[in-house]
Structure 1
Amino acid sequence: MPTSSAASGPTPTADTAPLSLCAREPHVPAERLVAEMVPPPRFDSVRFATYLPDPNQPSQSEAVRVLEEFAAGLGGGPAAGSGRRRLFGFGKAPRKAPTGPRGVYLDGGYGVGKTHLLASLWHATDAEPARKAFGTFVELTNLVGALGFQQTVRTLSGHRLLCIDEFELDDPGDTVLVSTLLGKLVDAGVALAATSNTLPGKLGEGRFAAADFLREIQGLSAHFRTLRIDGEDYRHRGLPEAPAPFSDEQVTRAAHATRGASLDAFPQLLEHLARVHPSRYGALTDGVRAVCLTGVRPVPDQSTALRLVVLADRLYDREVPVLASGLPFDQLFSEEILRGGYRKKYFRAISRLTALARDARHLVEPR
């Protein structure tokens, strides 16, 4: 079971004018997308030593052992052309990949600590930050969109390690794009690590998820070793049920009493997300210490739902608590939406928003 430091939480103050996410339309240059390919703030301090394996799940301890060995195998001094010149693909040609597996795939359900372990691998790899990259599958496709395919290959080819969190198996076009990119990077000697989620209905059937992953990355399967990580969602293990939503008045009052809080009506926020590219959702939350939402209701369609998933991921990465009125987060997505091909994303969003709702309780209730 992973651990992470508790969020310090927003600071209650006298009445202040809250921020508004709907008033923000951030511009994010490509250089920032590259520079931010590091573990998010929630995983700044995680290490293999801070991962606490469930004694009833020996696969968790085994995963730590294998990943520590994998990180040790990536050690060594920086290659020529490191730093900014290497980051954008200049300098000497990268080394060729050695024989044998150059990648690991962490297969398991929600909340078993795959991202914790992936970030720990990034931290444990002996390379300067400019020569190892960490990002979600969505962030990687956004990088290709911003830089172009060839420039992305040049940018990442000088890296020692690329970590891809939440590898998506439900978008054939993006999956082929990333598979082709990874093939170029493996040829350049870059080591790979990836995670994905087993669907809630397939817990215990991790071999199917692993087979899906290896099939989708086509000719790269020989470069990956699959690590199955069993266990239950630590975010809900031994914890109370998700807090019931608060009233509009409670949410509004908390937003005015908390420095750095934002306050938005949920329907208007969903409309605003349609006007902001998902690659900018992280920048959308810059400086926000709590998100307060009124009138939470089910999302109207799949496109809106997918945008909300990206925002939930960015808020979770940054440990931003979410205080809301309206319906509880486990009622965000209709049964029809949950039956579709993107259901693993929606279950992840529910899990993460529920955790952030717990973090926000102290904004209304005494500690």
Structure 2
Amino acid sequence: MTDLQPAGPPLALTARVPAVDPARLVAELVPPPHFASASFESYVPDAAHGSQAAAVARLRGAAQTIGRPAASSWWKKRRAQPEAVYLDGGFGVGKTHLLAALAHAVTAAGQRAAFGTFVEYTNLVGALGFRQTVDALAAYRLVCIDEFELDDPGDTVLMSRLLRELADHGVALAATSNTLPGSLGEGRFAADDFLREIQALAARFDVLRVDGDDYRHRSVEHGEALPDDVVQAVAAGRDGATLDDFGALLDHLATVHPSKYGALLDGVSLVGLTGVHAVRKQDVALRLVVLVDRLYDRDVPVLLGGGGTDELFSQEMRRGGYRKKYYRALSRLGALASEGAALAAAAQVRPAPGA
């Protein structure tokens, strides 16, 4: 074990104010690094759940249809009913893997496929405006929406309208919904809710049921809290690491549009946070959720000082309308914090005497 002797001041996320060209926001709509190699071949259907193999077969067919080159300039107008599929299943059955595999297959066929989470698309509308977003996405053959969220009526209506306009432009659509970790009832299957919310488009979507158990056997993890001085020392000793006071970072996030949170993490290999504490305000908590999603997409480990994830979101928040977001964030942040704690252990850093 070594004493704390920081090598120098690491970077700080609070010192970053990213300026993002709108073209970059659109260009980044690709499967995240976590699913960069996802394919139909690498998805192993559970023989006990035939719906998994059936979903793979259906999506392979969809990829072939969507991937065919346009025969003429009026191809889109002739295809009045482009492909539209919705993957309906429980937590951890591989829906995102399959969605990413579909995007990769269409891209491999020489066509353009956009892939993003529900939040990324709503943030894109916020950054570009609705009409510019439609124009940008209409150039794609396929638009994939991961974790379609039904907890914000305004955003749901916005996304429903966006999907309708894209479908009218001949763009194929594919979506999944977010689910609660370990849920056995509410939130496990959301097809009825999804179809009700998209209303005019409901008849166009082919619902693919993906049954099965959570292949990760994952529950909400509680990120291990580290002493703040350990967080500081580990961050100081790693290239590309950042170090921030948790409260200061939350304040900074309010000054950066959520569509730029990905750019905020450019070149970051590790995020160190000191003084982690409970978040009491919902708007602050929701911004944190978006940041955690971008960290998870990029597989960036996190060092959590202070209280870690313990009581990060209140019981009231976890019972409220945005509970799915908070449970997802806790699960993801817990996993990233476990990776960060492992890095700290490997660095053989110990707390300062009396810490």
TM range (shorter): 0.7 to 0.9
- Residue 62 of structure 1 pairs with residue 50 of structure 2: no
- Residue 73 of structure 1 pairs with residue 54 of structure 2: no
Shift of 1:312: 0.5
Gaps of 5+ in 2: 348-355
Shift of 1:78: 5.1
Aligned match of 2:13: 21
Query: Alignment RMSD, CA only?
Result: 2.6
Aligned match of 1:143: 124
1:155 counterpart letter in structure 2: A
Aligned residue pair count: 343
Moved more, 330-339 or 60-69: 60-69
**Alpha-carbon spacing, 1:130–1:59, altered in 2? closer, same or farther (3 Å):** closer
- Residue 52 of structure 1 pairs with residue 44 of structure 2: yes
Q: Where do 1:105-144 residues align within 5 Å? A: 105-126=86-107, 131-144=112-125
Aligned match of 1:4: none
Aligned match of 2:241: 261
Q: Name the CA distance, whole Å, in 1 between partners of 2:34 and 2:188.
A: 29
Q: Name the CA distance, whole Å, in 2 between partners of 1:222 and 1:209.
A: 16
| Residue 291 of structure 1, aligned match among 271, 275, 291 | 271
Deviations 1:34-79 (A, max 9, x none): 1111111222111122223344444333322221222122121257
| Residue 216 of structure 1, aligned match among 191, 197, 217 | 197
Deviations 1:201-255 (A, max 9, x none): 7535668611111111111011111122234444454x99655211112111110
Aligned match of 1:351: 331
SS in structure 1 at match of 2:176: strand
1:366 counterpart letter in structure 2: A
Aligned match of 1:5: none
Contact 1:166 1:194 in 2 (8 A): yes
2:331 counterpart letter in structure 1: S
Moved more, 100-109 or 329-338: 100-109
Moved more, 146-155 or 179-188: 146-155
Aligned match of 1:310: 290
- Residue 33 of structure 1 pairs with residue 25 of structure 2: yes
Q: Where do 1:87-236 residues align within 5 Å? A: 95-96=76-77, 98=79, 102-126=83-107, 131-200=112-181, 202-204=183-185, 209-236=190-217
Contact 1:94 1:188 in 2 (8 A): no
Q: Name the CA distance, whole Å, in 2 between partners of 1:226 and 1:260.
A: 43
Aligned match of 1:9: none
Gaps of 5+ in 1: 1-12, 81-91
Contact 1:107 1:197 in 2 (8 A): no
Q: Name the CA distance, whole Å, in 2 between partners of 1:97 and 1:78.
A: 10
Contact 1:110 1:348 in 2 (8 A): no
Contact 1:107 1:198 in 2 (8 A): no
Q: Percent identity?
A: 60
| Residue 271 of structure 1, aligned match among 222, 241, 251 | 251
Runs of 4+ in 1 over 6 A off after TM superposition: 127-130
Contact 1:16 1:259 in 2 (8 A): no
Q: Name the CA distance, whole Å, in 2 between partners of 1:93 and 1:312.
A: 42
**Alpha-carbon spacing, 1:103–1:20, altered in 2? closer, same or farther (3 Å):** same
Deviations 1:82-126 (A, max 9, x none): xxxxxxxxxx56613646672111123333322111111100115
Aligned match of 1:43: 35
1:260 counterpart letter in structure 2: G
Contact 1:74 1:125 in 2 (8 A): yes
Aligned match of 2:350: none
Contact 1:141 1:178 in 2 (8 A): yes
Q: Name the CA distance, whole Å, in 2 between partners of 1:56 and 1:188.
A: 39
**Alpha-carbon spacing, 1:365–1:346, altered in 2? closer, same or farther (3 Å):** same
Q: Name the CA distance, whole Å, in 1 between partners of 2:290 and 2:78.
A: 33
Moved more, 35-44 or 197-206: 197-206
Contact 1:266 1:294 in 2 (8 A): yes
Q: Name the CA distance, whole Å, in 2 between partners of 1:361 and 1:97.
A: 55
